[in-house]
Amino acid sequence: MDNIIRELRFSLRDPVVALTLLVGVLLSAFTVFSGLKEVDTERAQIERVKQMVDDDRTYALADQSDAGGAAYYAFHFTYAPPSDLAFAARGVRDDLPWKHRIRMLALEGQIYETDAGNPELSRIGKFDFAFFAAFLLPLLMILLLHDLKAAEVRNNRWAFLSATGGDGGRLLLSRAVLRAILLFACIITPFLAGVIVSTASLMSAVVVCAVIGLNLAFWLVLSLFTTSRIQSGPTAAALLLGAWFTLTVALPVGGKLMVEQSVPVPMGGEILLTQREAVNDAWDLPREATLKPFYERHPEWANAEPVSEGFDWYWYYAFQQVGDQTVESMSEALRDGVAERDKAMAMIALTSPPLLVDRVMSQLAMTDIAAFQSYDQCVRDFHAALRAFHYPMLFGGKEYSAEAMKELPTFRPCASNS
Amino acid sequence: MTEIALKADSLSVSRGRVPVLSDITFDVSVGEVFALLGGNGAGKSTTLLTFLGFLPPRSGSVTVLNKPVTQNVEFVRQKSAYLPEAANLYPHLNARENIKYFLSLAKVPRSASDIEAALDEVSLATEARGRRLSSYSKGMRQKVAISLAILRQAPVLFLDEPTSGLDPVAIDEFNQLITKLSAAGTTVLMVTHDVYGACQIAGRVGLLKAGSLVGVFEAPEGGQISPEEVHRAFAEGA
């Protein structure tokens, strides 16, 4: 215990160590604070937009006299609320949409009409706790450890230290471990404060602490291995920075490029365009060309309505659905491709501890690709429920009434997104 | 019969592939001051580092307090205090903190008054003791290291150019201190370039040349070794 206290005092008096720890705690606190603020903003945004869309729908439905108009003018707000741990890991939440304004028209176009905002900004990504803990933390570790032995040798202290302490190697090992523990404490303390404020689950917090601890342990071992063989501090730092660059930049970026090359997926914009063209073209096509594929999918409504010459809502909604059917395979290919790419990136992450940490944290925070796809499915299910509600009035002759509209489905976030 | 504290027996040491010491033999009795003189690269510091267990003998052996160093490194370091040339203690700590830190490493508890007494003994100005070592001169830093060696109260002292950086008054005080410690039973093995200083305090002086011990001079009863004689031998290569 005396040894720990001695080394603790010693390390905290060292200006380089003290400054590095201060930078660590400040960056950690900043990322946690900005993450909590971002989550608060999103929650407030959800409440505000949800209220606005609900009011708008109520107002629009009050004027409607038929099922087609009611389905056309009734907008619904769909969203994936941020999880309690989303403050720590933004994941793909800044790149991919987590909220939509949906109505009974063709769905695919609405899904890919993303509201992610400035794409350049989203490409840079947010400076979140996961990014800091996974990718930047190793730099602080390298700063603390690269010169640990070299400084003693350079200052003609190594033999003196070893002769006085008995075993210089053991002393430096304990010093390195203590510095790693101090850094860990500096990073984790603001995070745990964030966990308390956000009421995130204790289990998730424990797992986050464990993966960050493992990340630190990896860099501790790598630094000790390198500095035990390299006598020069700058050379050891250069080697460790090379390892950092390889593991945090070259491998993830190279891996991503390789995965994108080997698993081609259709673009969302391409799907949007194809679906809109299919819907727009339908105006100029004979109705049978639209209704045939529609009735093949919905034989229960076949021959329910006579084919007339003028505008009919059922025809309008049939070609909306046929628009979706036209891009069904593309949409499926996109979803499967994204999932396959994600699976491939998970394999690549096994070779890069920082990437692995980032992925695990995004998974726990439900801000990863799987959570995004789950939300996407949630929106599709809701839209399917809307069609199931409206189609009997549009195709089956069920009478439209304000009373019937009280049963209109309302969106509830799926369990996997909340 | 005189008790032997340090012994090098047919010792040969290499650094990498380069042979540095070749078949040297000497011993140092308990309470004796033995100085090793030699030019740059003669193997003086290598001899000390071998006694401290940092370098393994290629052949031959070294013993400290009758224990072979190779198998008893921790014991040797526990029983000895080492004072390197230009000891750069930690610049972010002050003199007292440095001493406390190293004493704690050596597991030698000493009171604050003991520390002040040791610093008094090396004449380190009281007002400087609370200042960080980054503001110290080389000589002041050396004084802190010397006071640490005093506080260790180890039976064996290994000194590597201990007066390097000290002013003449401090050198004189240091020599008196070593004489006092030796009289109290501390064994001292010192390596130095300083012929006159070595002759003043050492009971015997060994002359190292290109890794070989080429001569040993012994002080006459109640007197000192003649520095002129040693200097001549040094210049002639013994």
- The yes-or-no verdict on residue B21 having pLDDT over 70 is yes
- Nearest residue to B139 via CA among B150, B130, B128: B128
What is the average per-residue pLDDT within A291-316? 77
pLDDT given for residue B142 in this prediction: 85
Q: Cβ of A161 and B158 within 8 Å? A: no
**Residue to substitute from A160, A162, A174, A231, interface B, most B β-carbons within 10 A:** A160
What are the Cα distances from residue A172, in Å, to A161, A165, A229, B82?
Answer: 10, 11, 14, 19
Contact partners, residue B3, CB within 8 Å, separation at least 6:
B29, B30
Average pLDDT, chain B: 89
What is the average per-residue pLDDT within A381-391? 94
What is the average per-residue pLDDT within B103-125? 92
Q: Cβ of B82 and A157 within 8 Å? A: no
> Is residue A229 assigned to a domain?
yes
DSSP letter for A284, please: T
Q: A213: domain range?
A: 2-15+130-262
Residues in B lying within 8 Å of A, measured between beta carbons: 49, 52, 54, 73-74, 77-78, 80-90, 92-93, 97, 101-102, 104-106, 145, 148, 152, 158
Of the listed ranges A24-38, A314-328, B54-68, the least confidently predicted one is A314-328
Domain locations along chain B: 4-87+155-236
Q: Which two tokens stand for residue A51?
A: 């209220």
Buried b (16+ CB within 10 A) or exposed e, A68-102: bebbbbbbbbbbbbbbbbbbbbbbbbbbbbbbbbb
What is the average per-residue pLDDT within B29-42? 90
A3, A159, A166: residue with CB nearest B84:
A159
What are the Cα distances from residue B232, in Å, to A340, B44, B205?
Answer: 85, 19, 13
- The yes-or-no verdict on residue A306 having pLDDT over 60 is no
> Is residue A275 assigned to a domain?
no
What is the longest distance spanned by two Cα atoms in chain A?
102
* Pairing between β-strand B4-15 and β-strand A99-102 as defined by DSSP bridges: unpaired
Look-up of token digits 């140092």: B28
Asked whether A337 and A61 are in contact (CB, 8 A), the reply is no
**Residue to substitute from B44, B102, B104, interface A, most A β-carbons within 10 A:** B104
Contact partners, residue A394, CB within 8 Å, separation at least 6:
A67, A68, A71, A313, A314, A317
- The yes-or-no verdict on residue B219 having pLDDT over 90 is no
Nearest chain B CA: its distance from A14 CA (Å): 6
DSSP letter for A133, please: I
Question: B4-87+155-236: which CATH architecture?
Answer: 3-Layer(aba) Sandwich (3.40)
Count of structural domains within chain A: 1
pLDDT given for residue B127 in this prediction: 93
Of the listed ranges A215-219, A322-326, B25-29, the least confidently predicted one is A322-326
> Is residue A247 assigned to a domain?
yes
Helix, strand, coil abundance in chain B, percent, nearest 5: 40, 30, 35
Instruction: Report chain B's terminal Cα–Cα distance, integer Å.
Output: 30
Confidence of residue B49 (pLDDT cuts 50, 70, 90): very high
Confidence of residue A418 (pLDDT cuts 50, 70, 90): low
> Is residue A8 assigned to a domain?
yes
- The yes-or-no verdict on residue A25 having pLDDT over 80 is yes
Give the C-alpha separation, A9 to B101, whole Å: 10
Average pLDDT, chain A: 89
pLDDT given for residue A123 in this prediction: 53
Confidence of residue A247 (pLDDT cuts 50, 70, 90): very high
Q: Which two tokens stand for residue A123?
A: 């490409």
Strand partners of residue B132: B94
Give the C-alpha separation, B70 to B55, whole Å: 9
What is the average per-residue pLDDT within A189-203? 96
Buried b (16+ CB within 10 A) or exposed e, B77-116: bbbbbbbbbebbbbbbbbbebbbbbbbbbbebebeeebbb
What is the average per-residue pLDDT within B120-132? 91
Q: Cβ of A14 and B92 within 8 Å? A: yes
Give the C-alpha separation, B43 to B58, whole Å: 14
Q: Cβ of A164 and B82 within 8 Å? A: yes
CB pairs under 8 A between A and B: 64
> Is residue A106 assigned to a domain?
no
pLDDT in tens, A132-151: 999 999 999 999 999 999 99
A155 touches chain B (CB under 8 A): yes
